[in-house]
Amino acid sequence: MAWIRYPVYFLTIAFVTWAITQFELASPGGLKLHILMSETDVYGTSEFSPVEMIQAIILLACCGIMAWVAHYCPSQRPLAILFGGMALTFLIRELDYFLDRYIIDNLWQVLVVIVASLVIAYTYRHVRRLQIALARIWPSPGLTLLFAGAVIHFAFVWIVGHEPLWQSILGEHYLRVTKLAVEEFIELIGYFLWMTGTVEYAFQAPAIAYREPQPAARRRREQRRHDREGRF
Protein backbone atom coordinates (compact mmCIF):
# COMPACT_ATOMS: atom_id res chain seq x y z
CA MET A 1 0.00 0.00 0.00
CA ALA A 2 2.99 2.32 0.45
CA TRP A 3 3.30 2.74 -3.32
CA ILE A 4 -0.24 4.20 -3.25
CA ARG A 5 0.11 6.32 -0.10
CA TYR A 6 3.27 8.19 -1.05
CA PRO A 7 1.95 9.44 -4.42
CA VAL A 8 -1.20 10.52 -2.56
CA TYR A 9 0.95 12.47 -0.07
CA PHE A 10 2.83 14.12 -2.91
CA LEU A 11 -0.30 15.04 -4.88
CA THR A 12 -2.09 16.38 -1.79
CA ILE A 13 0.81 18.60 -0.72
CA ALA A 14 1.39 19.78 -4.30
CA PHE A 15 -2.29 20.60 -4.80
CA VAL A 16 -2.64 22.53 -1.53
CA THR A 17 0.53 24.49 -2.23
CA TRP A 18 -0.59 25.23 -5.80
CA ALA A 19 -4.05 26.32 -4.59
CA ILE A 20 -2.55 28.70 -2.02
CA THR A 21 -0.24 30.34 -4.56
CA GLN A 22 -2.97 30.64 -7.17
CA PHE A 23 -5.32 32.17 -4.62
CA GLU A 24 -2.75 34.86 -3.78
CA LEU A 25 -2.01 35.53 -7.47
CA ALA A 26 -5.70 35.80 -8.34
CA SER A 27 -6.45 38.01 -5.35
CA PRO A 28 -3.34 39.94 -4.21
CA GLY A 29 -3.31 40.18 -0.45
CA GLY A 30 -5.83 37.37 -0.13
CA LEU A 31 -3.55 35.30 2.08
CA LYS A 32 -3.77 38.06 4.72
CA LEU A 33 -0.23 37.50 5.92
CA HIS A 34 0.06 40.99 7.42
CA ILE A 35 -3.08 42.56 8.89
CA LEU A 36 -2.96 45.61 11.16
CA MET A 37 -5.71 45.20 13.75
CA SER A 38 -5.75 48.86 14.80
CA GLU A 39 -4.12 52.21 14.09
CA THR A 40 -1.69 51.60 16.95
CA ASP A 41 -0.79 48.10 15.78
CA VAL A 42 2.84 48.20 14.67
CA TYR A 43 3.59 44.52 14.09
CA GLY A 44 0.39 43.22 12.56
CA THR A 45 -0.69 39.58 12.50
CA SER A 46 -0.97 36.66 10.09
CA GLU A 47 -3.42 34.72 12.28
CA PHE A 48 -6.32 35.30 9.87
CA SER A 49 -4.41 33.85 6.94
CA PRO A 50 -5.76 30.75 5.12
CA VAL A 51 -2.28 29.30 5.62
CA GLU A 52 -2.76 29.47 9.39
CA MET A 53 -6.18 27.84 9.06
CA ILE A 54 -4.72 24.97 7.02
CA GLN A 55 -2.03 24.51 9.67
CA ALA A 56 -4.67 24.30 12.41
CA ILE A 57 -6.70 21.75 10.43
CA ILE A 58 -3.59 19.60 9.87
CA LEU A 59 -2.71 19.66 13.57
CA LEU A 60 -6.29 18.87 14.60
CA ALA A 61 -6.24 15.87 12.25
CA CYS A 62 -2.91 14.73 13.74
CA CYS A 63 -4.38 14.89 17.25
CA GLY A 64 -7.36 12.82 16.16
CA ILE A 65 -5.22 10.18 14.44
CA MET A 66 -2.89 9.85 17.43
CA ALA A 67 -5.92 9.51 19.72
CA TRP A 68 -7.14 6.67 17.49
CA VAL A 69 -3.77 4.92 17.68
CA ALA A 70 -3.66 5.32 21.46
CA HIS A 71 -7.15 3.80 21.78
CA TYR A 72 -6.84 0.86 19.38
CA CYS A 73 -3.13 0.02 19.82
CA PRO A 74 -2.52 -0.19 23.59
CA SER A 75 1.11 -1.27 23.20
CA GLN A 76 1.80 1.94 21.23
CA ARG A 77 -0.23 4.17 23.56
CA PRO A 78 2.69 5.92 25.35
CA LEU A 79 4.31 6.87 22.05
CA ALA A 80 1.02 7.95 20.49
CA ILE A 81 0.18 10.11 23.51
CA LEU A 82 3.61 11.71 23.34
CA PHE A 83 3.24 12.63 19.66
CA GLY A 84 -0.41 13.57 20.08
CA GLY A 85 0.48 15.86 22.97
CA MET A 86 3.13 17.56 20.86
CA ALA A 87 0.60 18.10 18.07
CA LEU A 88 -1.87 19.53 20.59
CA THR A 89 0.71 21.99 21.94
CA PHE A 90 1.48 23.04 18.36
CA LEU A 91 -2.25 23.58 17.78
CA ILE A 92 -2.66 25.68 20.92
CA ARG A 93 0.36 27.73 19.89
CA GLU A 94 -1.16 28.36 16.46
CA LEU A 95 -4.41 29.54 18.09
CA ASP A 96 -2.65 31.81 20.59
CA TYR A 97 -3.94 35.02 19.03
CA PHE A 98 -7.61 33.99 19.23
CA LEU A 99 -7.27 32.52 22.74
CA ASP A 100 -5.67 35.72 24.03
CA ARG A 101 -7.89 38.15 22.17
CA TYR A 102 -11.32 36.52 22.51
CA ILE A 103 -11.10 34.47 25.73
CA ILE A 104 -8.40 35.30 28.31
CA ASP A 105 -5.04 36.98 27.84
CA ASN A 106 -2.10 34.55 28.11
CA LEU A 107 -4.51 31.60 28.11
CA TRP A 108 -2.51 29.75 25.49
CA GLN A 109 0.60 29.67 27.71
CA VAL A 110 -1.45 28.16 30.53
CA LEU A 111 -2.94 25.52 28.23
CA VAL A 112 0.47 24.62 26.79
CA VAL A 113 1.90 24.20 30.29
CA ILE A 114 -1.03 22.01 31.34
CA VAL A 115 -0.84 19.77 28.26
CA ALA A 116 2.95 19.51 28.40
CA SER A 117 2.87 18.70 32.12
CA LEU A 118 0.28 15.95 31.64
CA VAL A 119 2.20 14.42 28.73
CA ILE A 120 5.52 14.55 30.58
CA ALA A 121 3.96 13.04 33.71
CA TYR A 122 2.35 10.22 31.72
CA THR A 123 5.55 9.56 29.79
CA TYR A 124 7.62 9.47 32.98
CA ARG A 125 5.16 7.09 34.62
CA HIS A 126 5.18 4.74 31.60
CA VAL A 127 8.77 5.24 30.48
CA ARG A 128 9.37 1.48 30.24
CA ARG A 129 6.32 0.99 28.04
CA LEU A 130 7.47 3.94 25.95
CA GLN A 131 10.87 2.30 25.42
CA ILE A 132 9.22 -0.96 24.40
CA ALA A 133 6.82 0.80 22.01
CA LEU A 134 9.71 2.68 20.43
CA ALA A 135 11.78 -0.51 20.10
CA ARG A 136 8.88 -2.25 18.38
CA ILE A 137 8.38 0.41 15.73
CA TRP A 138 11.86 1.88 15.22
CA PRO A 139 13.12 2.35 12.56
CA SER A 140 10.10 3.38 10.54
CA PRO A 141 9.26 6.01 7.88
CA GLY A 142 6.53 7.45 10.11
CA LEU A 143 8.88 8.26 12.99
CA THR A 144 11.47 9.64 10.58
CA LEU A 145 8.93 12.06 9.09
CA LEU A 146 7.71 13.05 12.55
CA PHE A 147 11.30 13.75 13.59
CA ALA A 148 11.87 15.84 10.45
CA GLY A 149 8.75 17.89 11.15
CA ALA A 150 9.82 18.45 14.76
CA VAL A 151 13.29 19.61 13.66
CA ILE A 152 11.76 22.16 11.29
CA HIS A 153 9.59 23.63 14.03
CA PHE A 154 11.89 23.48 17.03
CA ALA A 155 15.03 24.62 15.23
CA PHE A 156 14.62 25.91 11.70
CA VAL A 157 11.45 28.01 12.05
CA TRP A 158 12.71 29.68 15.23
CA ILE A 159 15.94 30.71 13.52
CA VAL A 160 14.43 31.78 10.20
CA GLY A 161 11.56 33.61 11.92
CA HIS A 162 13.94 35.70 14.03
CA GLU A 163 13.03 39.27 13.07
CA PRO A 164 16.47 40.86 13.74
CA LEU A 165 17.91 38.39 11.22
CA TRP A 166 15.63 39.69 8.48
CA GLN A 167 16.29 43.29 9.46
CA SER A 168 20.03 42.64 9.20
CA ILE A 169 19.70 40.93 5.78
CA LEU A 170 17.28 43.38 4.15
CA GLY A 171 18.27 46.55 5.96
CA GLU A 172 16.13 49.50 4.93
CA HIS A 173 14.23 47.27 2.50
CA TYR A 174 12.90 45.11 5.32
CA LEU A 175 9.18 44.36 5.19
CA ARG A 176 7.55 42.35 7.96
CA VAL A 177 5.20 40.66 5.49
CA THR A 178 8.22 39.07 3.78
CA LYS A 179 9.37 37.51 7.03
CA LEU A 180 5.86 36.34 7.86
CA ALA A 181 5.35 34.78 4.42
CA VAL A 182 8.59 32.78 4.60
CA GLU A 183 7.93 31.76 8.20
CA GLU A 184 4.36 30.61 7.56
CA PHE A 185 5.25 28.57 4.48
CA ILE A 186 8.14 26.88 6.28
CA GLU A 187 5.78 26.06 9.15
CA LEU A 188 3.34 24.63 6.61
CA ILE A 189 6.08 22.37 5.23
CA GLY A 190 6.82 21.16 8.76
CA TYR A 191 3.15 20.43 9.43
CA PHE A 192 2.83 18.57 6.13
CA LEU A 193 5.75 16.37 7.21
CA TRP A 194 4.17 15.90 10.64
CA MET A 195 0.85 14.93 9.05
CA THR A 196 2.50 12.49 6.65
CA GLY A 197 4.47 10.93 9.51
CA THR A 198 1.31 10.67 11.61
CA VAL A 199 -0.59 8.86 8.86
CA GLU A 200 2.34 6.50 8.22
CA TYR A 201 2.62 5.80 11.93
CA ALA A 202 -1.11 5.06 12.10
CA PHE A 203 -0.75 2.54 9.25
CA GLN A 204 2.27 0.85 10.84
CA ALA A 205 1.18 0.83 14.49
CA PRO A 206 -1.59 -1.81 14.24
CA ALA A 207 0.60 -4.15 12.19
CA ILE A 208 3.57 -4.07 14.57
CA ALA A 209 1.87 -3.19 17.84
CA TYR A 210 2.64 -6.62 19.24
CA ARG A 211 5.96 -7.17 17.50
CA GLU A 212 8.65 -8.24 19.90
CA PRO A 213 11.42 -5.67 20.44
CA GLN A 214 14.52 -6.53 18.44
CA PRO A 215 16.90 -6.91 21.42
CA ALA A 216 14.51 -9.34 23.11
CA ALA A 217 13.98 -11.26 19.88
CA ARG A 218 17.73 -11.55 19.41
CA ARG A 219 18.17 -12.90 22.93
CA ARG A 220 15.43 -15.46 22.38
CA ARG A 221 17.04 -16.65 19.14
CA GLU A 222 20.40 -16.97 20.88
CA GLN A 223 18.80 -18.87 23.76
CA ARG A 224 17.10 -21.30 21.37
CA ARG A 225 20.39 -21.80 19.50
CA HIS A 226 22.15 -22.42 22.80
CA ASP A 227 19.49 -24.92 23.85
CA ARG A 228 19.76 -26.81 20.55
CA GLU A 229 23.54 -26.95 20.78
CA GLY A 230 23.35 -28.18 24.36
CA ARG A 231 21.36 -31.22 23.32
CA PHE A 232 24.25 -32.75 21.36
Residue 6 falls inside a structural domain:
no
Residue 5 falls inside a structural domain:
no
Q: What is the DSSP letter of 47?
A: T
Residue 4 falls inside a structural domain:
no
Residue 50 falls inside a structural domain:
yes
Q: What is the pLDDT of residue 88?
A: 92
From residue 22, how far is each of 8, 11, 19, 28, 192 by CA, in Å? 21, 16, 5, 10, 19
Burial of 126 (0-12, 13-18, 19+ CB in 10 A): middle
Q: What is the pLDDT of residue 5?
A: 85
Residue 225 falls inside a structural domain:
no
* Structural domains of the chain, count: 1
Residue 231 falls inside a structural domain:
no
Q: Can you tell me whether residue 35 is helix, strand or coil? A: strand
Stated length of the chain: 232
pLDDT 10s per residue in the chain (232 long)?
A: 677 888 888 999 899 889 988 888 887 777 776 665 555 555 555 666 788 888 889 999 999 999 998 888 888 888 889 889 988 988 888 887 777 777 777 788 888 899 999 989 988 888 888 887 777 777 788 888 888 888 888 788 778 777 788 888 888 887 777 778 888 888 888 899 999 999 988 888 777 655 555 555 566 667 767 666 655 4
Residue 88 falls inside a structural domain:
yes
**CB-based contacts of 20: which residues, under 8 Å, 6+ apart?**
31, 50, 51, 54
Question: Rounded to whole angstroms, how far apart are CA atoms 26 and 49?
Answer: 15
Residue 229 falls inside a structural domain:
no
Question: Rounded to whole angstroms, how far apart are CA atoms 34 and 13?
Answer: 24
Enclosing domain of residue 165 = 23-220
